[in-house]
Amino acid sequence: MKRTPLYDCHLRLGAQMTDFGGFEMPIRYSGDKIEHMAVREKVGLFDVSHMGEILIAGPKAEEDVNRLLSNDAAKIQNGQAFYAAMLNADGKIIDDVVAYKFSPEKFIICVNASNREKDFKWIHENCNYAKDVSDNFAQIAVQGPRAINLVDALSPKEARSLKRYHFAEGKLQLETQSTDAIIARTGYTGEDGFELYVSTRDATKVWETLFKVGSPWGVTACGLAARDTLRLEAGMCLYGNDINEETTPFEAGIDFVVKLNKSHSFVGQVALQKQKLNGISKKLCGLRVTGKGIARHGYSIHAKTGKRIGVVTSGTQTPYLNQAIALGYVESDFMNTGTEIAIEIRGQLIPAQIVSIPFYRKASKELL
């Protein structure tokens, strides 16, 4: 199993480790709820070095990215990041990614760890120049309302000037040196925050410096368990659970990443145009268990009549809202908010309701 450059830091912090996407990753340090709440109220640090990074470069880079991704790379400014779906010809999701546009000649696509090899193969086959640069980077996510204070201590210029979903190449000031970094105001928690791409060589120093400068702000190391409950509360999809090569962006409710009318055609476009015309038969919906129990991945969803109408793809008892929430695909007849349904939990049909996504939304004035 692979390890990230921060592996020793995790052991020193007493993390419980688990296998995720082929990496030995921290699942928790102090506790799932403590870590989750730290991100909602203060600031949390996540090692997300397992994520893959693929460079697409050359004179035709923008054209390539526009062919590979559903979103419009030409409408995005240099220094801006965008969420997108990479689709196959059937319009099904190969991966959901964040693309960073440095210039029309240079993009970095951040991909899910579990999809790294599959994605690289696909990208390589479908564009002029691509390189898997994952091993060059460690990635640290600094997330929460106090994230800005930590990044401000290391990189004041970028911390203060970057708007949400923008990034810059800059320097992070460490104790006795500085190090190059891509500083991005992005994240996967529903909070304000940054993702720092740094060299594997300096990763430990960056992590430790963030801890030191963050201690007055209550910085907390956070594992994959908190990352999962945070993203679920924020209504974000997890590849492999909520989306996969059986689902389209329309079914997954991420229509905003699909630009059917962009100037370049993209893989999957024809299939999606057809689906837009014909409508979807299932949709990923927010679910709230109103009875007693917690819905989990794989549990079946039923109409009040008992008829099976779908399946839960992610579910938990969320620490911040303190409710049993879930995502799941339901037949489109039942997808309206407020529809009463039931979820089979260990042989019993437990009442639940279709609710809107996200379950948790940061007050917009607090999110830049």
Partner 1 sequence: MTTLIPVHLRYTKEHEWASAQDDNIVAIGITHHAQQRLGDVVYLELPPIGKTVEKDKIFGTVESVKAVSDLFSPLTGVVVAVNEALVNHPEDINQDPYKKAWMIKIRIKQPEHLDELMDSVAYARYLEQHTK
- Binding positions for partner 1, rule: CB under 8 A: 14, 16, 27-28, 31-33, 36, 225, 228-229, 293-294, 296, 316-319, 346
Q: Helix H segments across the chain?
A: 7-12, 32-41, 61-68, 116-126, 147-154, 156-161, 203-214, 224-233, 269-278
Q: Of the two residues 34 and 74, which places its CB atom closer to partner 1 in the complex? A: 34
Q: How far is the CB of 20 from partner 1 (least distance, A)?
A: 12
Q: How far is the CB of 42 from partner 1 (least distance, A)?
A: 18
Residue 246, C-beta contacts closer than 8 angstroms, at least 6 positions apart:
92
Q: Of the two residues 86 and 294, which places its CB atom closer to partner 1 in the complex? A: 294
Tell me how far CA of residue 25 lies from CA of 2, 131, 227, in angstroms.
9, 25, 12
CB 2 within 8 A of CB 15: no
Q: Of the two residues 14 and 59, which places its CB atom closer to partner 1 in the complex? A: 14
* Distance from C-alpha of 331 to C-alpha of 300, rounded to nearest angstrom: 12
Q: Of the two residues 307 and 346, which places its CB atom closer to partner 1 in the complex? A: 346
Q: How far is the CB of 229 from partner 1 (least distance, A)?
A: 6
CB 319 within 8 A of CB 336: no
Question: Widest CA span of the chain, in angstroms?
Answer: 67
CB 360 within 8 A of CB 316: no
Q: Of the two residues 28 and 185, which places its CB atom closer to partner 1 in the complex? A: 28
Cis amide prior to 358 (ω within 30 degrees):
yes
Q: How far is the CB of 238 from partner 1 (least distance, A)?
A: 13
Q: Of the two residues 209 and 318, which places its CB atom closer to partner 1 in the complex? A: 318
Q: How far is the CB of 34 from partner 1 (least distance, A)?
A: 8
Q: How far is the CB of 9 from partner 1 (least distance, A)?
A: 16
